[in-house]
Amino acid sequence: MAKASGGVAERVREMALPLANELGLSLWDVRFFKEGADWILLITIDKLGGICIDDCEAMSRAIDPLLDESDLIDASYRLQVSSPGLERRLRTQEQLAAYVGQRVFLRLQSAFEGQKDYRGVLAQAEGKSFTLELPDGRAMCCELRECAWVKADDF
């Protein structure tokens, strides 16, 4: 059985961050999760101008020996390195802050005013909360923990 997935992701993040910086990349996200019968270690990288396959390969080659040395993951797993994509999920307060002024799409865990899905412009992201300016001009304030997901949007 694999060690706690949250702990693995955080430890891999600590290992991957300096490698990403050396390669001229930014570390967008690290997730360790089970998909069917398989464990997946997903490292998401980004850079100005976008990511190409060579960037993913370079990051994979850089982190792979460190993962082997650390013996951090005691289960069989697949390492995947990818870009966040066009509809990138915003998982941290720092990522939200970087998207202030941009359009986002979010799904709440529980319905608010009869709906769970909202689109709007991310007006503010401070502390633990953020404010979404809705198309009708209203402002909606919530926290990441209240959201199933938040992602960049092209509406």
Instruction: Give the model confidence (pLDDT) of 88-102 as tens digits.
Output: 889 888 899 989 999
Q: Are residues 30 and 70 in the same domain?
A: yes
pLDDT tens track for 65-90? 999 999 889 889 999 999 988 778 89
**Do 48 and 88 contact (CB within 8 A), yes or no?**
no
Which of residues 82, 109, 132 is at a domain's end?
Answer: 82
88 found inside a domain: no
Of 25, 60, 82, the domain-final residue = 82
Give the mean pLDDT of the chain: 91
Is 131 found in the same domain as 106? yes
Can you give the CATH number for the domain in which 9 is found?
Answer: 3.30.300.70
**Structural domain of 19:** 5-82
The H or E element that residue 13 is part of is helix 5-22
Are 13 and 61 members of one domain?
yes
The answer to whether the pTM exceeds 0.85 is no
Give every CB contact of residue 69 below 8 A, 6+ residues apart in sequence: none
- Contact between 130 and 122 (Cβ < 8 Å): yes
Question: In the chain, which residue ranges form alpha helices assigned H by DSSP?
Answer: 5-22, 53-70, 93-98
Q: How far apart are CA 145 and CA 55, in angstroms?
A: 31
For residue 60, which of 95, 87, 51 has the smallest C-alpha distance? Answer: 51
What's the longest Cα–Cα distance across the chain? 54
